[in-house]
Structure 1
Amino acid sequence: MKIAVLSDVHGVLPALQSVLADVDAWRPDAVVVNGDMVNRGPSPLACWQLLAERQRTNGWQLLRGNHEDFVINMTLPDAPQSGPQLELQLSALWTSKRLHGQIAALQALPAAVHLQDAQGGALRFVHASMAGNRDGLHRSASNSTIRKQVAPLPSVFCTAHTHWAWMRTLDATLVVNSGSVGTPFDGDKRAAYVQLTWRQPFAGGGSWRAQIMRLPYDRAQAQKDFESSGYLHESGALTSVLHAEWRLAQSLWPAWVARFEADVLAEKISAAQAAAQFLSSIAEQPN
């Protein structure tokens, strides 16, 4: 049995197209898309349509990540309408307006997928942890911490959210993070996804193996998409921080939040000023 696991596309269409071509060539028995298909990137509708079509025609299983939740929340009556709270969520608002009636489909996505292998072992797929889709599993975390986040322990636990691809054997559980298709944070700008393979060398015995795949894609086209879609110019000043994360393949948002979010919410500094000050301290690298 072969299972492809991808996640965190974040609306970067050329990266998704590269991964889909590789998945098609590998011909897995099942595919799980582990959340965060949209938001943060310039092509949310095109990415969603590609994956929703695979769901309909190929039985791919799609999960809801925290960024699907962010987009859904911007369509609710209590969504912020003005002020710094809205400024912090303009990317999700921009994305929600471009999904053209697809919000109900996002709302219908499950929070978890459960599969079973030939020996009855459980495979569990969630966007982050059992505590919720924003409680990420970090490769630097201790076994005891991850054990709590994953419990009860299945044969295979597949997570995403942190944009770092990694794997670890914890007791008898294979824990795998599929990284990010569209915006990796490990310094490697290539798209990431995971191939899971069931190996049964003898009757009555078998185990899962994971391989992290890294694929180049047309980043020049992705940059053009960021510019031509209106995303960079219509989603507020803080989009520049999210775009820098894509350019550098590096997590920046938590550091921005720690330094500036409270002051922006208190209106001591504008979002534009906070973004500019933060980015002036970030060393640029070639795209």
Structure 2
Amino acid sequence: MKIAVMSDIHGNYIALQRCLAHALEQNVDAYIFLGDYLGEFPYPQRTLEILYELKQNASCIFIRGNKEDYWLNRRKDQNCDWKSGNRSVMAMIYNYNSLNAKDLDFFETLPISQSIRFAGMEPVLACHGTPFENQKALLSEELFVQKCEERYIICGHTHMQGFVSDGKKRIINAGAVGVPLKSPKKTQYMILTSDGKDWKPEFLSLEYDVDTVIKEIHESGLWDASPYWCRITEHLLDTGELPHGTVLNHVMKLNDYQDPWYNIADSYWEKALDELGIR
């Protein structure tokens, strides 16, 4: 049995199309998506339309990532100070404004984690970050990992493919479809294969049309709305280095943590990006 596992699309529908086309060529039996479907790229409805169509025609399981929580909290107006932020968060506002009730209702149905059982196969625990919290990265030494019934735990969130085992549990990270780290100009996903005993991961890193992705970031208006965030995205696509969170932490440090993350003045962003070599 072959399962395609994809995480952290972040709205990069062109990368998603590349991964799905490759998975189709591999004759996979099912798809597992580990969350963070939108966030950094233009035309978010194109990503959702692809996923909705696939859901109608193939066996699919969807997990909720931390990005989905941003949209749902905004809908409920809970923990959502960023709704009144400046250009620091315009990419988030751009994405949220593209969503309709169907999209938000879909996100509401998604679990933080799910134990997945295919007939005759070892169960797999799927999550975005950890089985109980989608904003944290999963570490093999964490106590709750040992308490999980499943031997295999698949996750995303870190945007880096990898495999960790303590001899009992196996944590497998699928990497990122949209903006992988340490993999410039590539998109990533994973195929899990089982003969009824162990699951074996195959980490895939594929070339795709990054130039068109960057062109659409500029042409869509997203770049004008959120120039600093988009500069980080373009740099990450091109180099595989300096994720958004790392840059944001640098911006906040330059600001001496005086302002909330969603409302930091442009001057700090300009200085941070200049210091980090992001043009």
TM-score range, shorter chain: 0.7 to 0.9
Residue 183 (structure 1) aligned with residue 179 (structure 2) = yes
Q: Which amino acid aligns with 2:95?
A: T
Percentage identity across aligned positions? 21
Distance apart, 1:192 and its partner CA: 0.6
**Are the counterparts in 1 of residues 44 and 98 from structure 2 also a CA contact under 8 Å?**
yes
Question: Structure 2 regions of 5+ residues with no counterpart?
Answer: none
Match of 2:198 in 1: 207
Task: Answer 1 or 2: which has greater helix percent.
Answer: 2
Distance apart, 1:136 and its partner CA: 0.9
Match of 1:75 in 2: 75
SS of 1:89's partner is helix
Distance apart, 1:118 and its partner CA: 4.9
CA shift in 2, pair 1:31/1:82, >3 Å? closer
Match of 1:203 in 2: none
- Partners of 2:266 and 2:229 lie apart in 1 by 7
- Partners of 1:82 and 1:162 lie apart in 2 by 25
Distance apart, 1:82 and its partner CA: 6.6
- What pairs up with 1:207-226 in 2 under 5 angstroms? 207-226=198-217
Q: Which amino acid aligns with 2:168?
A: A
- Partners of 2:94 and 2:119 lie apart in 1 by 44
Q: Deviations over 1:210-254 (max 9, x none)?
A: 110111100111011111121111236444334433333223333
Structure 1, 256-265 or 47-56: larger mean CA deviation: 256-265
Residue 229 (structure 1) aligned with residue 226 (structure 2) = no
Scaled by the length of structure 1, the TM-score of the pair is 0.85
Question: Structure 1 regions of 5+ residues with no counterpart?
Answer: 201-205
Match of 2:152 in 1: 156
- Partners of 1:4 and 1:242 lie apart in 2 by 25
CA shift in 2, pair 1:120/1:58, >3 Å? closer
Q: Name which of 137, 141, 144 aligns with 2:141.
A: 144
CA shift in 2, pair 1:136/1:270, >3 Å? closer
Q: Name which of 191, 197, 200 aligns with 2:193.
A: 197
Structure 1, 168-177 or 37-46: larger mean CA deviation: 168-177
CA shift in 2, pair 1:66/1:250, >3 Å? same
**Are the counterparts in 1 of residues 123 and 151 from structure 2 also a CA contact under 8 Å?**
yes
CA shift in 2, pair 1:237/1:132, >3 Å? same
Q: Which amino acid aligns with 1:121?
A: E
Structure 1, 127-136 or 252-261: larger mean CA deviation: 252-261
**Are the counterparts in 2 of residues 199 and 209 from structure 1 also a CA contact under 8 Å?**
no
Q: Deviations over 1:99-125 (max 9, x none)?
A: 233222222222223222555632010
- Partners of 1:180 and 1:69 lie apart in 2 by 18
Scaled by the length of structure 2, the TM-score of the pair is 0.87
Match of 1:56 in 2: 56
Distance apart, 1:174 and its partner CA: 2.5
Distance apart, 1:37 and its partner CA: 1.0
Aligned residues: 274
- Partners of 2:168 and 2:229 lie apart in 1 by 43
- Partners of 1:150 and 1:278 lie apart in 2 by 40
Distance apart, 1:278 and its partner CA: 1.2
CA shift in 2, pair 1:58/1:43, >3 Å? same
